[in-house]
């Protein structure tokens, strides 16, 4: 089975291992993702997120630049097995030559420090998808993570009424909240003025907008003020797990109607809404079924969040994806539907978005 995964944090884990003096390598490591494991499972492509934690105390743009340099170094060392892809045709060319495609994404728009020139530099260096936030408010938007992480299921109207005032106030608040190490989480706070400028420029460049981690209000502002399809690279169904990181049914429908993709997240906390919940293929399959029922079989893909998640996991690394395929088959998904989930939906999305 071919596999296309829309999100992992492996490059950041490798960077951290080297900072700690025990360097890991992309070809073979003890992380969730490496080249040998991907080859064993049949990976067609893997999105590698350059994940930035704004509270590490590093200059965020220098930080992301170091991650990108590491990413390029690892691809060069392993160019017989894996190559970067910035377009759909490059994915096909890599597949033709038996190589995995590596797609660079950015997890935390705050690394741009509110400067469009930094966004353009990231695009020029190969980034083709970006979340506007991670878990902290920044110059662009507010995240979707209240203190307890759990929110009631809600539709678009619950957020819309307070969007305009929230967008104005968050711009000044983001910097001070970060400096004071405060958590200012409010799902009614959306994009800032700079955030609007960024999504406009991202669409112009051809960089995919990723709404995972974004507040509810921010989601609906993206839906209203963009024209192209967008993705939630690693989010699940809030109807099954009422965590703020997940999507309401209304959100799933909007992504599906626009032609976007939702990437299934494997983290037990986003599958079951309990801190110590294990990640099981049975629960993963339930989220797949729900998203298919709500948005159709063409809107769901994989977004593992490998090397960014922890806890007990039935799929312990990327070599074990056959377990999910077997569970979906057991639940009477057809072979064609399983192929849609595992790679065809993401490939259709990239054919449209990565020219």
> For residue 128, what is the enclosing H or E element?
strand 127-131
What would the DSSP string read from start to end of 145-177? --TTSB-----HHHHHTTHHHHHHHHHHHHHHH
pLDDT at 168: 33
Confidence of residue 274 (pLDDT cuts 50, 70, 90): confident
pLDDT at 150: 54
Average pLDDT over residues 227-241: 97
In this predicted structure, the answer to whether residue 160 has a pLDDT above a threshold of 90 is: no
In this predicted structure, the answer to whether residue 25 has a pLDDT above a threshold of 80 is: yes
In 3-state terms the chain splits into helix, strand, coil percentages (rounded to 5) of: 45, 15, 40
Residue 33, C-beta contacts closer than 8 angstroms, at least 6 positions apart: 8, 10, 46, 306, 307, 317, 318
**DSSP-derived 3-state class of residue 256:** helix
Distances (CA, A) of 238 to 18, 189, 305: 36, 19, 17
Name the nearest CA neighbour of 135 among 304, 312, 308, 311.
Answer: 308
Distance CA 159, CA 103 (A): 33
What would the DSSP string read from start to end of 295-328? H-TTSEEE---BTS--S-BSS-SGGGTHHHHHHH
pLDDT at 149: 53
What would the DSSP string read from start to end of 69-100? HHHHHHHHHTTTTEEE-SSHHHHHHHHHTT-E
Distance CA 353, CA 129 (A): 10
Q: What is the pTM of this model?
A: 0.90
Residue 141, C-beta contacts closer than 8 angstroms, at least 6 positions apart: 109, 132, 133, 170, 189, 190, 191, 192, 195, 214, 215, 218
In this predicted structure, the answer to whether residue 128 has a pLDDT above a threshold of 70 is: yes
Where do runs of H (alpha helix) occur along 192-264? Answer: 193-205, 216-225, 249-258
Contact 9/306 with Cβ under 8 angstroms?
yes
pLDDT at 355: 85
Q: How far from each other are the two terminal CA atoms of the chain, in whole angstroms? A: 25
Distance CA 120, CA 208 (A): 13
Q: Among all chains, which residue has been given the structure tokens 């509810």?
A: 216
**Comparing 112-126, 149-163, 178-192, 281-295, which segment has the lowest mean pLDDT?**
149-163
β-sheet bridge partners, residue 333: none
Average pLDDT over residues 145-158: 47
């Amino acid at each position: 089975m071919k596999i296309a995964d829309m999100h992992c944090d492996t490059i950041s884990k490798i960077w951290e291992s080297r900072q700690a003096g025990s360097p890991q390598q992309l070809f073979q490591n003890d992380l969730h993702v490496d080249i040998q494991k991907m080859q064993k499972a049949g990976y067609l492509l893997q999105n590698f997120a350059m994940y930035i934690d704004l509270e590490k105390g590093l200059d965020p743009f220098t930080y992301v630049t170091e991650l990108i340099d590491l990413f390029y170094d690892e691809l060069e060392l392993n160019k017989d097995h894996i190559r970067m892809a910035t377009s759909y045709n490059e994915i096909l060319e890599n597949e033709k030559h038996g190589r995995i495609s590596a797609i660079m994404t950015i997890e935390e728009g705050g690394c741009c420090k509110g400067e469009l020139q930094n966004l353009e530099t990231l695009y020029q260096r190969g980034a083709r998808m970006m979340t506007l936030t991670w878990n902290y408010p920044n110059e662009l938007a507010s995240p979707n993570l209240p203190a307890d992480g759990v929110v009631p299921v809600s539709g678009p109207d619950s957020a819309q009424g307070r969007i305009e005032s929230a967008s104005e106030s968050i711009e000044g608040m983001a910097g001070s909240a970060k400096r004071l190490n405060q958590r200012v989480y409010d799902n009614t706070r959306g994009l800032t003025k700079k955030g609007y400028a960024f999504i406009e420029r991202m669409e112009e460049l051809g960089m995919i907008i990723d709404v995972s981690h974004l507040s509810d209000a921010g989601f609906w502002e993206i839906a209203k003020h963009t024209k192209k399809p967008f993705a939630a690279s690693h989010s699940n169904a809030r109807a099954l797990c009422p965590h703020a990181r997940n999507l309401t049914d209304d959100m799933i429908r909007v992504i599906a109607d626009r032609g976007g993709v939702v990437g299934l997240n494997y983290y037990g906390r986003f599958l079951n809404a309990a801190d110590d919940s294990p990640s099981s293929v049975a629960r993963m399959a339930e989220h797949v079924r729900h998203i298919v029922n709500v948005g159709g079989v063409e809107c769901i893909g994989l977004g593992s969040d490998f090397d960014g998640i922890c806890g007990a996991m039935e799929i312990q690394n990327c070599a074990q994806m056959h377990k999910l395929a077997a569970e979906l088959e057991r639940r009477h998904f057809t072979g064609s539907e399983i192929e849609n989930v595992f790679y065809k939906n993401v490939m259709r999305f990239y054919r449209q978005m990565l020219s």
